[in-house]
Structure 1
Amino acid sequence: MAIATTPCEVSDRVTAKARVNGVALHADGELLDAETLRQRACTELLRQAAQAAGLLDPDDQATPDGVLSEAAANAIEALLEGTLKVPDDPSEDECHRHYAAHESAYRTGERVHLRHILFAVTPGVHVPALRQRAEAALLDVRNHDDQEFDRFTEAARTLSNCPSAAEGGDLGWLTAADCAPEVAREVFGHAEVGVLPRLVRSRFGLHVIEVVERMPGVTQPFATVRATVAQSLRQHSYVTALRQYLNGLAGAAVLAGVDLDKPLDLHQGQRALEI
């Protein structure tokens, strides 16, 4: 199912040599999507900060593929443990407020019946033109009101880059675990049914998505998920502190060929920084 297996990213490709304080982030001629480049830049900022703090040998070198040495990974971990100011464990009131505001995140058994039209990004594709085609398809299927003709099915069969095109884009009943995280965030925990009014961007491409039907599932009681709620709040605090620290490092660095003004998705913590 292409909604969960295609490896491409939706992003313009980076062609110029990008550097952090003169250190190259990729090999000559290597093409990186913007998000991967920004992740490498943040990792390099942390590697250099660990060296400046005396936690990493000055002779440690960045590699063209962005993979850290074991010593660098350990030094960055020590740097963050000693630098980030993360608040204490959340209070009971904070946990209750978070739970009340995000009850949909603690449902079990939620399922949706989806159809989609995938505009996949492949090497060499012109992303702006692809987006125009996807937006035109979205407008077409949303504005087609002929009850005798299923425009979504026809569009999926002719336009979609997913094997589900043969089934009119029908993906069947899915849980959040069946979908790419980017798709799951847009689809689950909501009430809307029908063609979503916006394109859904994922690592696989651009999706025109229709929610055919929903099974809402059951919300778990607070007592059952209290530990999960607390962990979510701790993770949010860590991510906030990490982003602030990286912003400070970026502000003091000399950057070339990479834009760190747009916030990184750091909700995966160390994974996003490749450490």
Structure 2
Amino acid sequence: MSGRFFPGLRCMAAALLALWLPLQAATLQLEGASGHTQLDGAALAAHPQARDIDIPADVAYGRAMRYRAVPLAVVLAGLGLAPGDTLEVVASDGFTAQLPGALVLRAAHGGAGEPWLAIEPEQAPWPLLPGKQHTAGPFYLVWPQAQGVASEQWPYAIGRLAVREAPERRWPQITVAPSLPANHPARRGQAVFVTQCLVCHAMNGGGGATMGPDLNRPLNPVEYFQPDALRRLIRDPRSVRAWPGQAMPGFGAQQISEAQLDDLLAYLAHMARRR
């Protein structure tokens, strides 16, 4: 029967579907030494080690938050993540964080700074993120003790966790020239780029994120921004250019210090000569 002749039935079916969809548990995709698997959000929330945790200074929401969460070590069990590996965290919007294995595992046995995976309740969604039309769910990586953790190392809307090689080995085209001295600012800037920029941008085609443009192809920002304007763009993008749907956040001194910003700009200038 066609809905054209039975509009009431079609509307009823749509309403029932809308009620049914939220009841479907979110799943987290995992890739590691044992292959591909997935975990159910409801099962994670009911795990024996799951509990309600308080986050005094939540990065995504900008305030104190409470979540139902499990230690990330529980989720990673069996994936074979080593300190020299990278945990790639892929979000539904294309944001892709590359978390050093040493950082993720530094508290695998209950030490200080342990990361937790927060699970959004199916029947009680979290608040909308500031300035966005969605929450941080269904999964959000949070740090109750965030010392030494950068702002972009709090990925939310997570859909997949995967064990990978370190970014510099996986994408050698993002690295500075081997001839640069060990203390060259561009080398330090490369580390800043991997942590704070590679989550959204590629460099010479290297990177897993899909949110923003490549920062060296076809041109590098240092080639079309005056130095002061580029610094201002990083600190407060909307003060330089703005459009509907603009996604790039501003990076204040707490996220990228002045010294780190100097190093990042040195890296970009260096990479403009390495296409």
TM-score, normalising length from structure 2? 0.21
Higher radius of gyration, 1 or 2: 1
Greater fraction of residues in helix? 1
Q: Tell me which of the two structures has the higher relative contact order, counting C-alpha pairs closer than 8 angstroms and 6 or more residues apart.
A: 1
TM-score, normalising length from structure 1? 0.21
